[in-house]
Amino acid sequence: HTDDHSHLEPVRYSSGSGFFRALVLPRRGGAGLLARLFAAFIYTISNPILALKALFVPNWAKYTLILLYMRSLDGTFNFVWSRLGMLSTLGDSKAPTANMPEANDIVARIADKMQGFSVALGTETLFDIPTTAHILGGACISKDEEGGVINDRHEVFGYPGLYVCDGAAMSANPGVNPSLSICAMTERAMTFIEPKSQG
Task: Say if residues 125 and 26 touch (Cβ distance below 8 Å).
Answer: yes
Residues 6+ apart with CB under 8 A from 139: 148, 149, 150, 156, 164, 168, 169
DSSP 14: P
7 a catalytic residue: no
Task: Say if residues 183 and 189 touch (Cβ distance below 8 Å).
Answer: no
Backbone dihedral angles phi then psi of residue 78, each to the nearest 5 degrees: -115, 135
Active-site entry in 1, 5, 7, 134:
134
Per DSSP bridges, beta strands 6-11 and 85-90 are: unpaired
Give the catalytic positions in this structure.
134
